[in-house]
Structure 1
Amino acid sequence: MGHTIGELADEFDVTPRAIRFYEERGLLSPSRQGTTRMYGPRDRARLKLVLRGKRLGFGLEEIREMLDLYTVEEGDAIQLRHCLEVGREKIAALERQKQDIEATLEELRGFEKQFVRLLEEKGPVD
């Protein structure tokens, strides 16, 4: 038995519209029971991976490429290498962002210390 769009939306805290969007982009492929979309275990797992990929900063095309790995032949090393490269690029970009954030925090803490010192010269600081 599958899940309805409403059940998936509730479970993953997304809107039915978002699920339909992923379906339109070919990331999900529910079966139909009359006019009702029924999402099986494969769609549920794919939705979970889509949402995780988005949270990690991957674009939908990158996510699609990674999802397609589950359906490729074992010997398709070219696609695996590509996904590995995309993942490494994302790691490098996040590492750069992390360094930028740490540098900004350090600079702001320096300003904070200066401001506290200046305020202390003027009287008690809260």
Structure 2
Amino acid sequence: MSDTLMTIRQMVDKYQVTARTLRFYEAKELLSPLREGQKRLFTKRDQARLKLILRGKRFGFALEEIRQLLDLYDMGDQQQTQLRATYAIGQDHLAALKAQRAELDEAISDLTEQLEWGARMLASFEAKDAAE
């Protein structure tokens, strides 16, 4: 196999995704591997797109957002449109993640307080039982 083409097995091993995931992305037209009989051959472009898909998913982007951003690559403006759109969506997702983190921090604080109260109550009950 050449350095520029990878089989589905090689993609699975390199990117830690399932073959089913790759076929799903192909069905959604996010990837478009070459075909050699029944064999799928993924190009450097497919590999770059998969990296972007996985990064986008990790950042919380919807697959449709990722598709739109990937499609902007081919606009011929040195990816300026793609970068602007990615930046705007990224800012929105960052704000949402920060809000989620604030909510989680508050929930953690509340739960910690409740557990500390519970520990004090249990210790009080145990001390009372030991005194009797």
- Are residue 60 (structure 1) and residue 63 (structure 2) matched? yes
Paired residues, what number? Answer: 124
| 1:52-101 CA distance string (max 9 Å, x none) | 21122111111112223432222775554333221111111111100000
**Could you tell me whether the CA contact under 8 Å between 1:69 and 1:79 is conserved in 2?**
yes
Change (3 A) 1:47 1:80: closer
Match of 2:48 among 21, 24, 45: 45
Long gaps (5+) in structure 1: none
Long gaps (5+) in structure 2: 128-132
Tell which deviates more after alignment, 73-82 or 57-66: 73-82
Please tell me the root mean square deviation across aligned C-alpha atoms, in Å: 1.9
Look up the SS of the partner of 2:61 in the other structure: coil
Structure 1 partner of 2:21: 18
Q: What letter is aligned with 1:103?
A: E
TM value normalised by structure 2:
0.82
TM value normalised by structure 1:
0.86
Q: Percent identity?
A: 41
Larger Rg: 2
Tell which deviates more after alignment, 74-83 or 37-46: 74-83
